[in-house]
Structure formats: structure tokens, C-alpha cells
Amino acid sequence: MPDPLRLGIAGLGTVGIGVVHIIQAHAGLITARTGRPVTITAVCARDRNKDRGADLSGYAWEDDPVALARRDDVDVFVELMGGSDGPAKASIEAAIASGKDVVTANKALLALHGQNLAEGAEAAGAVLRFEAAVAGGIPVIKALTEGLAGNAITRVMGVMNGTCNYILTRMENAGLPYETVFAEADELGYLEADPTLDVGGIDAAHKLALLSSIAFGTRVSFETVDIRGIERVTIDDIRHAADMGYRIKLLGVAQVTGRGLEQRMAPCLVPVDSPLGQLPGATNMVVLEGDAVGQIVLRGAGAGEGPTASAVMSDVIDIARGLRLPTFGQPARSLVTPATGRAAAPTPWYLRMTLMDKPGALAKVAAALGDAGVSIDRMRQYRHDEAFAPVLIVTHKTTQDAIDHAIGNCTVTGVVVGDPVALAIEAV
Ligand code: NAP
Ligand code: HSE
């Protein structure tokens, strides 16, 4: 029997213990599939005395993840602590410097430091893999890196934050306002320690930036993702969207246009009967489009112990099999710095605004849109009792620049009350 592949696991929370459970439950199956046993040598967490619901007695304990990363009896360092800097970064760097392979689920760290870490790993002859960092149990990194490697990828889209999809779905199903459902999500333990990562769209943007790198051969460019969260989505928007045959999703879109790499994470309208429109609760979905294959839709659990540990094991098993793929699908040094193109691809837009109910108000808004080159496809004004009229407009395809221009025009008409809401409508 060949030598075992020996893991050192830093982080024994939801995902880390999930990995321990899989390795303990499936030792025979993993050996049969890889041709060698996969074992755990040592583990690390903050609190040695915590009951973690798993038997850890056979493993050495390290208090310091960096010490774990440097152990001679560890072949693969599995980083499952989280955090974009601090111990996670220090220990991964230590593992790479020691020539060890690394598996991580840490999207925040990779979105900020993935390029440097990947270059370091390649220089050291090590691999750095991160299937679990994007869309939990969905094997989307594998799909892009391997299954679709013969395609020029034309577009990547996805709902990649389960918490936001839970909040939006629950608002629609229960007719509850954002604030109430946010509090429910908090009670259910869905929210990150810093909830802004979820509802502000940042966590999902981290994931989109990682997918973009593989899809388009570009250096990870998180700082150029145009990010909008779901905090301003109202129950009225959800109802109005439904009324017109759409649902609101926090949707990531990445594509290369004539102006460069466009990456945006924002609440969008999608047709109710589309695959994304049918996505319930905390589920994730990633849509990949390639020039040869057409459209691929991947759907599944985006978080949780089993699904995320399943993805970690996919990387571990690749390494056990001797499959040594570059972190972002091609050598890190060959990734190019993308020119950034802000939402150049035209889509229809949903606009909601409140107008003063007086003669000529609608005409002024229509003229303001027309002056910005925005053409109206559909328009509704809802019954109202007060002096203000809620108006919905669906435009023909236009660019974000034109919409921003149009909204600017609207606000100086003197008939629009408050800030208009503008959401892109994506065809999927
Ligand atoms: P978690 O439940 O909070 O567990 C984190 C673990 O790391 C804990 O065991 C903690 O120790 C340990 N830890 C934290 N700081 C440490 C330090 N300085 N030294 C040693 N150990 C330390 O987190 P998680 O949900 O498992 O997430 C782990 C990673 O997976 C994160 O990068 C996360 O973004 C990613 N991820 C998670 C999910 C998910 O569904 N949970 C999905 C996809 C990706 P103690 O237990 O002693 O406090
Ligand atoms: N906060 C993340 C989510 C966890 O809600 O999808 C999984 O990455």
C-alpha cells in the first residue's frame, strides 16, 4: 500500500469537523478511489477542551496553526479557520514555504491574496486549491477548471450567497419586510459574524471574483467588482417584481465585453420561471456559459457542514490521486490584469420611483428617460390615496451608464420623491 496522504487541519468548526467526519466515515472508500489512505496527523483550533462531536483522540494537537503548517508529518495543510488575514494567511504562507500543498475554503482570503498565494505555491512546487470557497457543495471550480477547459467562457452568473437568497425568498413567501427577515436569519445562525459580508453582497462578490479569474484567465480582481447589497430591497419591490413576472435575486454576473471585464454583484430581476427564479431558500446556483458547450446550470447547497466538507474532500482527493492543477486553472503568473468595464452589456431595467401626483409628472419622467437614451417598454402606476404615486417602469435594453444618467435627469425634474430604485433584469 502506498504511503498515506497526511493532513493537518486548522479549524475544527462547522467545516473542519465535517472533514473529520468524512475522513472517519469513508476511509475505505477514499483509499479505494485514490489508491492510498488519507489520514489526519494533527489538528488545531482555539479551544482544546471544546466538545466538537467527533473523536479527535488519535490526532496530535497544535495550539498554533503556523506550527501545524510546518510539521514534517503533514503533507497537506487544510485551512478552515476563516478570516482574510491573520492566522489563516500566516499559516497558509508557512505551509507553502515548507513546500506543502494547501486546501482552503476561505473565499475572503483568496479574493484579496489569492494571486500572491497562488504564485507562491507554484514557485514552491505546491498546489493551492479552494473548491469549498465558492458555492459550498457545488463543484463549480472543478467544472470551470476541468470540465469546461476546452471552452472560451462567455459569461458566469450565479446566486452564491445562501443567506441573501433565504432572506429574499422568505420576504416574498411570508410577505415580511427586510428588517423582520434579517432578524430571523440572525436567530437561525445564517449570518456571518459581520452580517455586512452577506447582505452587503461582499461574500458573494468574493466568490464571483474567484470564478472570474478561472473563467477569463485574469488575476483575481475583487476590488473592481461593482457591489450592491440587498439592504434596500423592499417588500414592495418584491411584490411589484412578482406582479410583472420576476423575482429579485442577489445575482453575480461576470463577462468580458469590448470595454473589459465586467463583474457586478447586485439585486437583479430574473424571470419567475427561469432556473434562477425557481431557486428557493439558502440554495446556490451557478450558471456557466461557454462558446462550445452552451449553458450549464449547477445547483445545490452553498453552505453547511456536509456540503462544504464534501468540496474540501474533492481537493484533498485530487491531491491524493496526484492531480496537481493550478489554483486558477492556468499558471498564476500567466493570468492577465483585466481592464475593467463597468456593466457595458445592455439589459432591460426595472425602475421604481414615487412621483408627485400632479399634471405632467409622468411626462417629465418619460422625457428625462428619453433624454438619457432610455426607452420605456412597460409602465405601471398603482392606485394611491395620497399625493404621491408609485410608478414602475421596465425599460428596453440599455446600459447602466444610461440608467444612471436617466436617474440623474429624473431627480432634477422636481416631481420625483426620494431616491428611485433601479435593478437590472437578467435573462437566464
Ligand atoms: P467556524 O465554525 O467559525 O470554525 C472556525 C474554526 O477555526 C474554529 O474551530 C475555531 O476554533 C478555529 N479558529 C479560529 N481562529 C483560530 C486561530 N487563530 N487559531 C486556531 N484555530 C482558530 O467556521 P466555518 O463555518 O467552519 O468556516 C471555516 C471556513 O470555511 C471559513 O473560511 C468560511 O468562510 C469557509 N466556508 C464556510 C462555509 C460554511 O457553511 N460554514 C461554507 C463555505 C465556506 P474554536 O472552535 O476553538 O473557536
Ligand atoms: N455566508 C455564506 C452564505 C456562507 O450565506 O452563502 C457560505 O459561503
> Would the CATH topology of 5-104 be identical to that of 349-425?
no
Tell me the per-residue pLDDT of 301-350, one tens digit each, with 9 for 90 and over. 999 999 999 999 999 999 999 999 999 999 999 999 988 877 667 899 99
Angstrom distance (rounded) from CA 380 to CA 423: 16
pLDDT (tens place) for every residue of the chain, 428 residues total: 789 999 999 999 999 999 999 999 999 999 999 999 999 999 999 999 999 999 999 999 999 999 999 999 999 999 999 999 999 999 999 999 999 999 999 999 999 999 999 999 999 999 999 999 999 999 999 999 999 999 999 999 999 999 999 999 999 999 999 999 999 999 998 998 899 999 999 999 999 999 999 999 999 999 999 999 999 999 999 999 998 899 999 999 999 988 889 999 999 999 999 999 999 999 999 999 999 999 999 999 999 999 999 999 999 999 999 999 999 999 999 999 988 877 667 899 999 999 998 889 999 999 999 999 999 999 988 777 778 888 999 999 999 999 999 999 998 999 999 999 999 999 87
Q: Can you tell me the distance from the alpha carbon of 344 to that of 322, in angstroms, rounded to the nearest whole number?
A: 42
Atom of ligand 1 nearest to the CA of 303: 40
Query: What residue ranges do the domains of the chain occupy?
Result: 5-104, 147-300, 349-425
Residue of the CA atom closest to atom 36 of ligand 1: 105
Q: How far apart are CA 370 and CA 377, in angstroms?
A: 12
The 76-79 sheet, strands edge to edge: 60-62, 38-44, 5-10, 76-79, 101-104, 128-129
Helix (H) or strand (E) holding 48: none
Kindly give the number of the ligand 2 atom that is closest to the alpha carbon of 135.
8
CATH number, domain 349-425: 3.30.70.260
CATH architecture of 147-300: 2-Layer Sandwich (3.30)
- List, as one string, the DSSP characters of 127-140: -EE-GGGSSTTS-H
pLDDT at 343: 67
Q: Does residue 192's CB lie within 6 angstroms of at least one atom of ligand 2? A: yes
Q: How many helices, marked H, and strands, marked E, lie in the chain?
A: 14, 16
What's the angle, vertex CA 350, arms to CA 345 and CA 351, rounded to 5? 120
Residue 259 is predicted with a pLDDT of 82
Name the burial class of residue 180, with classes exposed (0-12), middle (13-18) and buried (19+) by CB atoms within 10 angstroms of its CB.
middle
**In what side-by-side order are the strands of the sheet with 416-424?**
376-381, 388-395, 349-356, 416-424
Question: Hey, which residues are catalytic here?
Answer: 207
- For residues 353 and 420, the answer to whether their CB atoms sit within 8 Å is yes
* pTM for the full predicted model: 0.95
State if residue 302 touches ligand 2 by the CB under 6 angstroms criterion. Answer: yes
Q: Does domain 5-104 have CATH number 3.30.2230.10?
A: no
Predicted confidence at residue 254, as pLDDT, reads 96
- C-alpha of residue 29 to centroid of ligand 1, in Å: 26
